[in-house]
C-alpha cells in the first residue's frame, strides 16, 4: 500500500512516515501542499491514501485536498491539525476524518487501513 504524508513539521512527518513504513507501507512525504500535489500528479503508482496537515506554507491542506479530490474523488484523505477543528468545520466534508495533534498513530493506522479496504470493496465515495 502506498500513502502520501504531507506536513510542514519535519518531526511529525518523519514519525508518521516511519510508523507506516514499519508496517510495510510505501510512504512518500512532502512538507507543503504544492510539492505534494506535484508528487500526486507524477506518481507512477497511485496512492492508496493521503494524510495531510491543514496549516502549511505554499498551499494548505484544504486547497491541496480540493485539487486531489478534483482528480480522484475516491482517494481517502485524512487531516491532522494542531489548530481548532471547529475553524475548519465547513471544509470537513473533504476529509474522511480530522485528527487533532498529537495524533494517536494506532488509530490513524486503523482508519487508513479501513478506508483503503472500503475503497477496494467499492464502498467508498462514488466517482465524481
Closest CA to 32 of 67, 7, 69: 7
Residues 6+ apart with CB under 8 A from 107: 99
Tens digit of pLDDT for each residue in 74-124? 999 999 999 888 888 899 999 999 999 999 999 999 999 999 999 888 754
* Whether the predicted pLDDT of 72 surpasses 90: no
Q: What structural domains does the chain harbor?
A: 2-120 (3.40.50.2300)
Q: Running DSSP on this structure, what letter comes out for residue 54?
A: S
CB 83 within 8 A of CB 98: no
Is residue 128 very low, low, confident or very high in pLDDT (cuts 50, 70, 90)? very low
The better pLDDT of the pair 86, 63 is held by: 63
CA distances from 85 to 66, 109, 114 (A): 18, 20, 22
**Average pLDDT in the 57-79 region?**
94
Q: Report the percentage of the chain scoring pLDDT > 90.
A: 82
Mean pLDDT value of segment 23-27: 98
Amino acid at each position: 500500500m502506498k500513502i502520501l504524508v504531507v506536513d510542514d513539521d519535519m518531526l511529525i512527518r518523519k514519525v508518521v512516515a516511519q510508523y507506516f513504513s514499519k508496517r510495510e507501507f510505501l510512504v512518500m512525504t512532502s512538507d507543503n501542499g504544492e510539492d505534494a500535489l506535484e508528487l500526486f500528479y507524477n506518481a507512477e503508482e497511485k496512492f492508496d491514501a493521503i494524510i495531510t496537515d491543514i496549516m502549511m506554507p505554499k498551499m494548505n491542506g484544504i486547497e491541496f485536498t480540493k485539487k486531489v479530490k478534483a482528480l480522484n474523488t475516491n482517494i481517502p484523505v485524512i487531516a491532522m491539525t494542531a489548530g481548532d477543528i471547529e475553524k475548519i468545520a465547513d471544509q470537513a466534508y473533504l476529509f474522511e476524518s480530522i485528527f487533532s495533534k498529537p495524533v494517536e498513530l494506532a488509530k490513524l493506522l486503523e482508519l487508513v487501513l479501513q478506508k483503503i479496504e472500503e475503497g477496494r470493496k467499492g464502498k467508498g465515495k462514488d466517482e465524481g
